[in-house]
Amino acid sequence: MRHLIVALTLLITMFALFALLATGKTWAAAKSKPLWELGGVIGAGYLPDYPAAGQSHFQWGALPLLIYRGEILRAGDKGLVRGRLYRSDRMEFDVSLSGSFPTDADDNNARQGMNDLDWLGEVGPRLQITLARAAKAAKIDLELPVRAVLSTDFSSLEHQGFIFAPELAYQHDDFMGKGIELKLGLSLDFASEGLADYFYEVPTNFVTSTRSAYNAKAGFMGTRLQLSAYKPITDRWRVFAGINGEFHHGAANKSSPLFLNTSNVGVGFGVIWSFWQSDARVTED
pTM across the whole model: 0.84
Would the CA dihedral through 236, 44, 124, 165 be positive or negative?
Answer: negative
- Return the sign of the alpha-carbon dihedral for residues 246, 111, 145, 82: positive
pLDDT per residue over 213-243, tens digit each? 999 999 999 999 999 999 999 889 999 999 9
Q: For the chain, which ranges sit under pLDDT 70?
A: 1-31, 75-85, 284-285
Report the distance separating Cα 58 and Cα 67, nearest Å: 27
pLDDT tens readout for residues 150-171: 999 999 999 999 999 999 999 9
Q: Please tell me the predicted confidence (pLDDT) of residue 29.
A: 46
Contact 200/259 with Cβ under 8 angstroms? yes
114-137 pLDDT, tens per residue? 999 999 999 999 999 999 997 778
Rounded-to-integer distance, Cα 129 and Cα 132, Å: 9
Full set of structural domains in the chain with CATH? 2-276 (2.40.230)
Answer yes or no: are the C-beta atoms of 129 and 94 closer than 8 Å: no
113 phi-psi bin (left φ>0, alpha ψ -120 to 50, beta other): left
pLDDT in the model for residue 102: 94
CB 230 within 8 A of CB 82: no
Task: For residue 137, count other CB atoms closer than 10 A to its CB.
Answer: 17
pLDDT at 48: 96
- pLDDT computed for residue 201 by the predictor: 98
pLDDT at site 6: 47
Of 219, 215, 222, 212, give the one whose Cα is nearest residue 200: 215
For 57-86, give the DSSP string.
EEEEEEEEEEEEE-SSEEESGGG-EEEEEE
User: Please, how many CA atoms are within 13 Å of residue 130, restricted to the half-sphere of its CB?
Assistant: 15
* The pLDDT of residue 252: 98
Q: What angle do CA 198, 96, 101 make, to 5 degrees?
A: 40
